[in-house]
Chains A and B, each alone.
Chain A
Amino acid sequence: MTIRKYVKLGLSALALSISLSAVAEEDPIKVGILHSLSGTMAISETVLKDTVEMLIEKQNAEGGVLGRKMEAVVVDPASDWPLFAEKARELLAQEEVDVIFGNWTSVSRKSVLPVVEELNGLLFYPVQYEGEESSENVFYTGAAPNQQAIPAVNYLMNEIGVERWVLAGTDYVYPRTTNKILETYLMDQGVAKEDIMINYTPFGHSDWQNIVSDIKDFGSAGKKTAVVSTINGDANVPFYRELGNQGISASDIPVVAFSVGEQELSGIDTGPLVGHLAAWNYFMSVDSDANYDFIDEWIEHTGDDEAVTNDPMEAHYIGFNMYVEAVKKAGTTDVDAVKDAIIGVSVPNLTGGYAAMMPNHHITKPVLIGEIQDNGQFSVVWETPSTVAGDAWSDFLPGSRDMIADWRKPLFCGTFNTKTGKCGASAGEMAAEDAE
Chain B
Amino acid sequence: MSIIRSLTLLLIAITMTVFPAVHAQDNDPGQTLLGNLADARPAQIEDAINAIATSGDVRARSWLDAYGNNRLSQVKDTGRIVVVLNNRGLDWTISDALTGEDLGEISRRELDRIPVNNLIRGQLDGIKAMLDLDAEDRDIRLASAESMMGKVEAPIVAPLEERLELEEDPKVRERIEAALAIYRVGEGDIEAVDVLAGSLHSRARAALNNAADSDDPELATKAKAALETIEQKLKLNKAAETLYFGLSLGSVLVLAAIGLAITFGVMGVINMAHGELIMLGAYTTWGMQQMLPDQPGLALILSIPAGFMVAATAGIIIERSVIQFLKGRPLETLLATFGISLILQQLVRTVISPQNRTVVTPEWMSGSIVVNDALSLTLNRMYVLGFALVVFAALMLIMRRTRLGLEVRAVTQNRNMARSMGIRATRVDIMTFALGSGVAGLAGVALSQLTNVGPNLGQNYIIDSFMVVVFGGVGNLWGTLIAGLSLGTINQLLEPWAGAVLAKIIVLVFIILFIQKRPRGLFPQKGRAAEG
Q: A residues bordering B, Cβ < 8 Å?
A: 38, 40, 42-43, 46, 159-160, 171, 199-202, 204-207, 209-211, 213-214, 216-217, 219-223, 234, 237-238, 241-242, 244-247, 250-251, 254, 263, 266-269, 272, 275, 277, 287, 289, 292, 295-296, 299, 305-306, 371, 373-375, 377, 379-382
Contacts and interface: CB of A to CB of B under 8 A. Distances in A.
B500 A234 contact: no
B31 interface: no
Interface in B406-455: 450-452, 454
Contacts of B245: 207, 209-210, 213
Nearest to A220: B202
B119 interface: yes
Contacts of B450: 206, 238, 241
A234 B202 contact: no
Count chain B CB atoms within 10 A of each CB in A38, A200, A263 and give the residue with the most: A38
B231 to A, nearest CB: 11
Interface stretch (B22-30, B51-59, B358-366): B358-366
Count chain B CB atoms within 10 A of each CB in A210, A287, A289, A380 and give the residue with the most: A210
Interface stretch (B87-95, B168-176, B187-195, B321-329): B87-95
B428 to A, nearest CB: 35
Interface of B: 69-70, 87-90, 108-109, 112-113, 115-119, 121-122, 125, 202-203, 205-210, 213, 241-242, 245, 248-249, 252, 346, 349, 354-361, 366-368, 376, 378-381, 450-452, 454, 456, 460, 491-492, 495-496, 499-501, 504
Contact of A269 (B346, B359, B492): B359
What 6 pairs between A and B have smallest CB-CB spacing?
A267-B356, A220-B202, A222-B209, A222-B210, A245-B378, A222-B206
Contact of A206 (B88, B346, B451): B451
A285 to B, nearest CB: 9
Contacts of B367: 245, 247
Contact of B500 (A205, A246, A272): A205
Contacts of A379: 70, 113, 115-116
A375 B206 contact: no
Contacts of A245: 366-368, 378-381
Given A171-B501, A210-B242, A375-B87, A275 B118 contact: yes
Given A241-B450, A251-B118, 19 more contacts: A38-B346, A43-B356, A204-B456, A207-B491, A207-B492, A213-B241, A221-B206, A222-B205, A222-B206, A222-B210, A234-B456, A238-B450, A247-B367, A247-B368, A250-B118, A254-B118, A267-B355, A275-B121, A381-B118
Contact of B252 (A207, A216, A374): A207
Given A202-B501, A237-B451, A247-B376, A210 B89 contact: no
A306 B89 CA distance: 6
A250 B117 CA distance: 10
Contact of A220 (B203, B491, B496): B203
A295 B500 CA distance: 40
Contact of B118 (A160, A205, A217, A223): A160
Contacts of B452: 206, 234, 237-238, 267
B500 A202 contact: yes
Count chain B CB atoms within 10 A of each CB in A159, A220, A287, A289 and give the residue with the most: A220
A237 B360 CA distance: 12
B492 A246 contact: no
Contact of B501 (A46, A200, A251): A200
A251 B122 contact: yes
A380 B358 CA distance: 24
Contacts of A381: 115, 117-118
Contacts of B109: 289, 292
Contact of A42 (B115, B354, B499): B354
A404 B28 CA distance: 62
Contacts of A209: 245, 248-249, 378, 381, 492
A210 to B, nearest CB: 5
23 contacts: A38-B349, A40-B456, A159-B119, A202-B501, A207-B245, A207-B249, A217-B202, A222-B205, A223-B206, A237-B452, A238-B452, A245-B368, A245-B378, A246-B376, A247-B367, A263-B355, A269-B360, A275-B118, A289-B109, A295-B90, A306-B88, A381-B115, A382-B117
Given A43-B354, A46-B354, A209-B245, A246 B90 contact: no
A242 B367 CA distance: 9
A373 B70 contact: yes
Contacts of B88: 306, 375
A267 B210 contact: no
Contacts of B118: 160, 250-251, 254, 275, 277, 371, 381
A382 to B, nearest CB: 8
A305 B451 contact: no
B500 A200 contact: yes
Given A267-B356, A379-B70, A201 B501 contact: yes
Contacts of B119: 159-160
Contacts of A220: 202-203, 205-206, 209
B514 to A, nearest CB: 22
Contacts of B205: 220-222
